[in-house]
Amino acid sequence: MLDLQSFETNLDRYAAEDLAGCLVLGSNGEAAVLEEAEKLVLVGAARRLTAGRTLLVGTGLESTQATIALTRKVADLGADAVLVLTPHYYKAQMTLDALRCHFAAVADAAPLPVLLYSVPAFTGLPFPAPLAAALAGHPRIAGMKESSGDIALLGRIVAQVPASFRVLCGSAPVIYPALCVGAVGGVLAAACCAPGPVAALYRAFASGDHERARRLQAALTPLSTAVTSAHGVAGLKLAMDVAGLKGGHVRAPLRPAPASLREELAGLLREAQAAV
């Protein structure tokens, strides 16, 4: 069951932070295990609570037509843009051409801006660098979230697309170097539990204070690694609990984080906050 009250509490808290907006139904939002009806409830609630901010919604599914259908529904609910995951079940067939056709079909049918979303840690599928360039000219494809952590790939993508195609980094342990090579922002799980330090890093970079950005990166990396690759969604939710937000349960097959992790996360959160 959804815990909508906690969801709204979190969104209220984020509204007080220096964030450009929110992503709902991302990988760490457990989109992979939510029913469609639940997804729509969450989007509706999020729209009410993010007035004046960007509401980005994950709508990527394995099927092109199902992705289009969900995209239209969240557009009706007032989403500002959708984040469309690379389909990945039929990996060997997800060629550059197949992916290009998928994203183009979704964008053709989408009544709102589309961002591509590549996250090989979950999909097992690398992002072909020329794909971004092949799609950057589509009037409704606004950019992408690149979550591989591969800065050389991110740099190659930035080099091949016009400035109108906005490359966002999805990997907090490399957000500062990603900004250095041309990412224009980030969509980061770490911001769920530590929005302050993440926003501070972005502001430091934007103001040209590289030394401060680097220091904030060093302070954020252990926390962000803990709440993603090391402990996953359950780690992130526990870190939110520790930070005074509402993390709550994970849905099976994900398993709860061990209680013993709480102290470690508290320490990492303190370190990240201390660097601000």
For its own copies, the closer CB: 50 or 86: 86
Q: Does 206 bind its own copies (CB under 8 A)?
A: no
- Burial tier of 267 (Cβ tally within 10 Å: 0-12, 13-18, 19+): middle
Based on the shown chain and the rule CB under 8 A, indicate whether residue 105 belongs to the binding site for its own copies: yes
Is there a contact between 77 and 43 (Cβ–Cβ < 8 Å)? yes
Q: Which residue among 5, 63, 164, 207 contacts its own copies (CB under 8 A)?
A: 63
d(CA 61, CA 83): 11
Q: Is 3 in the site for its own copies (CB under 8 A)?
A: no
Beta strands in 187-246 (DSSP E): none
Contact pick of 251, 258, 263, 270 for its own copies (by CB under 8 A):
251
By CB under 8 A, name the one of 12, 18, 62, 108 that touches its own copies.
62
Counting Cα atoms < 13 Å in the Cβ hemisphere of 44 gives 9
Least distance (Å) between residue 192 CB and its own copies: 16
Alpha helices in 58-194 (DSSP H): 64-76, 96-109, 120-123, 129-135, 151-160, 175-180, 190-193
Query: What value, to the nearest 5°, has the Cα angle with vertex 166 and ends 165 and 171?
Result: 140
- The residue within the footprint of its own copies, chosen from 255, 258, 263, 270 (CB under 8 A), is 255
- Asked if 184 is part of the footprint of its own copies (rule: CB under 8 A), the reply reads no
Q: Does 234 bind its own copies (CB under 8 A)?
A: yes
209 counts as binding its own copies under rule CB under 8 A: no
Rg for the chain (alpha carbons), in Å?
Answer: 18
Q: Which CB, 15 or 181, lies closer to its own copies?
A: 181
Cβ atoms 168, 186 nearer than 8 A: yes
Q: Which two tokens stand for residue 60?
A: 């990527």
Of positions 3, 12, 18, 89, contacts its own copies by CB under 8 A: 89
Phi/psi at 24 (nearest 5 deg)?
-110, 145
Which member of 102, 145, 212, 237 binds its own copies (CB under 8 A)?
A: 102
* E strand intervals along 126-216: 141-146, 166-169, 185-186
What's the token pair of residue 180? Answer: 């250095």
7's tokens: 């969801």
Among positions 19-48, residues that touch its own copies (CB under 8 A) are: 27, 32-35
Query: Which of 39, 141, 221, 238 touches its own copies by CB under 8 A?
Result: 221
Cis omega (within 30 of 0) on the bond before 253?
Answer: yes
Query: Smallest distance from the beta carbon of 30 to its own copies, in angstroms?
Result: 9
Q: Which residues are catalytic?
A: 145
Minimal CA–CA distance to 119: which of 88, 89, 160? 88
233 contacts its own copies (rule: CB under 8 A): yes
Please, what is the minimum distance in Å from the beta carbon of residue 94 to its own copies?
Answer: 7
**217 part of the interface to its own copies, by CB under 8 A:** yes
Site for its own copies, rule CB under 8 A: 27, 32-35, 62-66, 87, 89-95, 97-99, 101-102, 105, 121-124, 149-152, 155-156, 158-159, 171, 173-174, 176-178, 180-182, 208, 210, 214, 217-218, 221-222, 225, 229, 232-234, 251-255
